[in-house]
Chains A and B, each alone.
Chain A
């Protein structure tokens, strides 16, 4: 668990939103589906983020079957969408959609509907079907330098808003990685090998976060992932602000 402290004085004490008004199970961003469940894929991947859009409302909806303890089994199960190297932020969310403001709930949803729309037409299977707002692929598998290019936070936000829960790439560009963690929108996981060459779009995969493992059920292969480390708890909590409040690390007055 990261030791995260800062001397920010009274800044955070001014926050007016309710803290911890929800059961900790739901505050934790874990998927509770066990790998062996026979739940139809569509249901098992419907996992909404715990995301406070305004001080009063907290948008939560979880279609959960088995519900495990929030601190043990963290698994993501669903279909994967495979992309290549150097997927830059213009491909993840083209600039023309940046007029949408992510902190606005309606525009957040709209942003999600455009996730990965910038991929060239060589990607014949699209991340989101036409006339759909959400993706059926909860896991994106990429190659090197995922998220390179612009610093636009709209990139991880669009992926998260679309319904993705994790990206598994060989490596990341730093601003994209940082934005993913700060927003808590998706888990930016790293693979040890080039799994983008061994998985195909539509494969069923499970990620067991606690074991840093990805299982491709379609091919039967398992892959080691690099541990998410300190970034994990931040994303679990829902981003850097939520994490700082949840862990009680923000002093209520000047240190």
Chain B
């Protein structure tokens, strides 16, 4: 059993939280009339998060939604019409959302704001599947017609590098292009849109119909979620990554433990994480059923955003007396590398207890585990070992930028070698064209798709039956450290075998 200092829910008073007030309401529109929920099931009888005496103390999620709905305050359970700052869509859900937008608002309608719609082809790109290719064309036609400012197009599928606009995985592209800003509301037609919460904003996934609505109206009806608080303290061991932290949490609360709730990550460990690690943490919030994840913005956030965005932003922070549904505390220094065994992200186990599980392949990629930091981490393990992998090891950088980093960034302690050199020496497959790749299977010709019933250790986010292709495939979710270590032995392996 993974050792962790797990305290029962304690009082919600948190010290050392900054308290930024709300910006003044913009008063552009008359106040909306009171809305009754039409979206949530009746059964969610959540513990009321506020009483009369703490009416104005809010969590940061509540504050973001209040500001976005031009209200002085909101409480969990309330419904509000929220102004949307960014709507993202990709090649899988974009065409459907566009179809609904045109059907409902009219064939000649214009989107509510051509600068707030970000369209990122990333899912089924490097494939001969005609429908998949057609879907990217549909996006292009729409962007031309609407003069969409941010469309990361790809036209030459044979060589991603000759497409200057193409980025890759939407959630990473959003961050790298400066579309994620503290205090804002970002929606996307993808469940892992919650990744952007790492920037201290409200970010969640929506379906095509909701997206069609937002395309025309620029607003969405949302129910304010209550917040679960996760306090992560202690020095991060050098064999642990954010992936281990979130697997720990999901294993603790289960795949439905955060349904309809916000997950707020605070504590000294969280503060020590860089942006990409924070993104990994928030990325898998949806795997616990969470509505959104948030990490308070700080100097790490501001530094990351320098030079990426020219738009002003105003971070918000949970009030000292804000109410949380529960609080979970972890002493990170006591945690160990984990995996999520088939077939559920909450099927948590210690990596070292799975060392007899023989594997057939390793996959390092996706928004969860295909960022620059993830490849640096994998390279560190290969470097420490100096040996070759025992199973096919697939590397799929999330974006063009990540791909370039893999080929140019020097790995500390390697004497000047790049990640790509280390991967080559270790016998990994050549890093592939950036996209979502085989994380979700995809068309049959997708690179690294699991077409046979095999056992795979993967840095991705889901391992339900058939997730990477074959229904009988067995997927062990893991951190890049654990994935690399497993590749070297041919069995599920704790990275301490190589890192200590």
Contact = CB atoms under 8 A, between A and B. Distances in A.
B135 interface: yes
Contacts of B490: none
A83 B216 CA distance: 37
A255 B106 contact: no
Interface in A71-128: 86, 88, 90-91, 94-96, 98-104, 118-121
B135 A54 contact: no
Interface string B193-217: 1000000000001111110110011
A151 B205 contact: yes
Interface of A: prevailing SS:
loop
B30 A255 contact: yes
Nearest to B210: A182
B454 to A, nearest CB: 16
A175 B33 CA distance: 25
Contacts of A230: 36-38
Contacts of A96: 441-444, 469
A5 B107 CA distance: 24
A226 B259 contact: no
Nearest to A243: B38
A99 B138 CA distance: 12
Contacts, number: 214
A227 interface: yes
Contact of B217 (A8, A177, A243): A8
Interface stretch (B19-27, B92-100, B240-248, B404-412): B92-100
B325 interface: no
B466 A241 contact: no
B159 to A, nearest CB: 22
A34 interface: no
Contacts of B190: 150-151
A205 interface: no
Contact of A175 (B29, B206, B213): B206
Contacts of A94: 441, 466
Contacts of A86: 255-256, 344, 464
Contact of B42 (A100, A119, A229): A229
B41 A231 contact: yes
Nearest to B346: A86
Nearest to A145: B256
A154 B97 CA distance: 11
Interface string B24-57: 0000011011111111111100000000000000
A188 B191 contact: no
B465 A118 contact: yes
Given A120-B471, A231-B41, A103 B210 contact: no
B41 A172 contact: yes
A8 B93 CA distance: 24
A103 B100 contact: yes
A200 interface: no
Contacts of B268: none
A196 interface: no
- Indicate the member of B99, B109, B219 with the most A CB atoms within 10 Å: B99
B221 interface: yes
Interface string A160-183: 000000000001111101110111
Interface stretch (A10-18, A59-67, A131-139): A10-18
Nearest to A228: B42
B196 to A, nearest CB: 14
A98 to B, nearest CB: 5
B206 A151 contact: yes
- Indicate the member of A94, A154, A243 with the most B CB atoms within 10 Å: A94
B116 interface: no
Interface string B93-132: 1011011100111111100100000000001100001011
Interface residues of A, number: 70
B107 A101 contact: no
B32 A5 contact: yes
A214 interface: no
Given A118-B466, A152-B93, A241-B213, A99 B443 contact: yes
B259 to A, nearest CB: 6
A219 to B, nearest CB: 24
B255 A145 contact: yes
Interface in B443-484: 443-444, 462, 464-467, 469, 471-472
A186 to B, nearest CB: 13
Interface in A11-28: 11-12, 14-17
A121 B42 contact: no
B109 A14 contact: yes
B42 A227 contact: yes
Given A91-B465, A182-B209, A153 B107 contact: no
Interface of B: 29-30, 32-43, 81, 92-93, 95-96, 98-100, 103-109, 112, 123-124, 129, 131-132, 135, 138, 189-191, 193, 205-210, 212-213, 216-217, 219, 221, 255-256, 259-260, 286, 289, 291, 344, 440-444, 462, 464-467, 469, 471-472
23 contacts: A2-B36, A2-B38, A3-B33, A3-B34, A5-B32, A7-B81, A15-B104, A90-B462, A95-B442, A98-B92, A101-B99, A103-B99, A148-B289, A150-B190, A151-B189, A151-B190, A152-B207, A153-B96, A171-B256, A230-B36, A230-B37, A231-B38, A241-B104
Which A-B residue pairs are the 10 nearest by beta carbons?
A: A103-B99, A153-B207, A151-B205, A99-B131, A179-B207, A182-B209, A151-B191, A95-B440, A153-B208, A145-B256
